[in-house]
Amino acid sequence: MANPSTCPPLTRQSVQTAHKRIEPYIHRTPVRTCETLNSIASTAQCERPDGQPDTIPSKGTAKPKVRLFFKCENEQKIGAFKARGAFHALGRLIEEEGLESVRREGVVTHSSGNHAQALAFAAKTHGVPAYIVMPSISTPSKIAGTRSHGPEIIFSGSTSDEREAVVAEVIQKTGATLVPPYDHPDIMLGQGTQALELEAQAEALIAQDPSLGIQGKKRLDGIIAPIGGGGMLSGICTAMHGTGIKVFGAEPNFEGANDAEIGLKTGKRVEKVKTLTIADGLRTPVGHIPWSIITDKEKLEGIYSVSEEQIKAALRLAMERAKVFIEPSAAVPLAVVLYNEEFRGMLEREGGEEGWNLGVVFSGGNTTMEAIAKLFAAPAKVEERAEGKVGINGERTAENVAG
């Protein structure tokens, strides 16, 4: 990567400059609204009809008034926001080192999927060799997506230590430059560009049709986005600093996946995370540089977490009601809006009678129909499993498919 000491400062102006750099290579993804989700988000959980597929039984009484604006990065190139950071980081590296030098030695990274695809695509675009270290347990569709861009893929163990050890071997062998997934200013600045677009797009939508937003309000009040390594959330915090638009983070809480939330409460960054949350893009501990941003109370309002069932419920809603195809990680912010009572209570208190225009980042859509079907498959009956008619995940065994 470009030396952090020579990187632009982490400011809104730097994010604006980053946006101009990457505009030729990325999509300006759409911002969508959904009246059904507005209605559900603005209804107390205890008042929602029982037995509906979009509800989770709860006694939550918070009743915020919310209008939601979804930034659909699932429609970004390579299917996720990561293209922004990859193109910005590689562009800055080429600017500092020269294209021929970068082409001669190549670039390397480690990623379970979205950053892997993003860097492979950016490298192909610039004619740069890419070496991608991927955990062997990575989603097959993400491995295939990465391979389609022509990099050399090297498989590793799933922990950060195992990944980084393989990366070190690649660097020693090839001289390739590391482009990390999130822990670098150039990555953060690139990821923050989506917030600039969301801010402007929401304002334009409200100007065109005021009924889409809270009556009398012309712009966003806040943005909520997922956090794993923190490159995106810290970039959004940087982009929105000084605008009056508040920023929030969203995490899964399964097996300690809410390391950022825990870290903020204890005042210490969690260095290791070991979780198999369905939000596989958020299984990473927050990086050192992103941590310095999200711990700044002037830049981040707070982080809230949700359960696996809440993520699944939000994912179902996004697909069935808003008609968007996203991966579980991308559903986490919506799950917080719908089901985290602490967050909902805060919205109700601070929004008062007026309410909130809230931007929600759908960060990616790199999943498959098979994965989604498996996620929502009904558990097999005990007697069916005992008789060998279904496997441990509920799938029909070969000898019973025909019948």
Which of 186, 203, 237 is the last residue in one of the domains? 186
My answer on whether 295 and 209 are in the same domain is: yes
* CB contact at 8 A, 128 and 103: yes
My answer on whether 57 and 136 are in the same domain is: no
DSSP single-letter state for residue 267: T
DSSP single-letter state for residue 275: -
DSSP single-letter state for residue 79: G
CA distance 173 to 193: 34
**Is 173 in the active site?**
no
CA distance 18 to 11: 11
My answer on whether 149 and 223 are in the same domain is: no
Q: How many domains would you assign to the chain?
A: 3
Active-site residue, selected from the candidate residues 111, 112, 234, 305: 112
Flag whether 365 is in a domain.
Answer: yes
pLDDT per residue as tens, the chain (403 positions): 667 778 999 999 999 999 999 999 999 999 999 999 999 999 999 998 865 665 677 789 999 999 999 999 999 999 999 999 999 999 999 999 999 999 999 999 998 789 999 999 999 999 999 999 998 888 888 899 999 999 999 999 877 788 899 999 999 999 999 999 999 999 999 999 999 999 999 999 999 999 999 999 999 999 999 999 999 999 999 999 999 999 999 999 999 999 999 999 999 999 999 899 999 889 989 999 999 999 999 999 999 999 999 999 999 999 999 999 999 999 999 999 999 999 999 999 999 889 999 999 999 999 999 999 999 986 644 344 344 443 333 333 332 222 2
Among 257, 371, 269, residue whose Cα is nearest residue 315: 371
My answer on whether 231 and 111 are in the same domain is: no
My answer on whether 100 and 198 are in the same domain is: no
Active-site residue, selected from the candidate residues 77, 82, 246, 299: 82
CA distance 357 to 218: 9
**Is 112 in the active site?**
yes
Which of 146, 166, 186 is the last residue in one of the domains? 186
Q: Which helix (H) or strand (E) holds 41?
A: helix 35-41
Domain housing 278: 12-79+188-369
CA distance 232 to 85: 9
CA distance 192 to 282: 17
CATH number at residue 143: 3.40.50.1100
What is the token pair recorded at 291? 């941590």
Q: Tokens 């304002």 belong to which residue?
A: 203
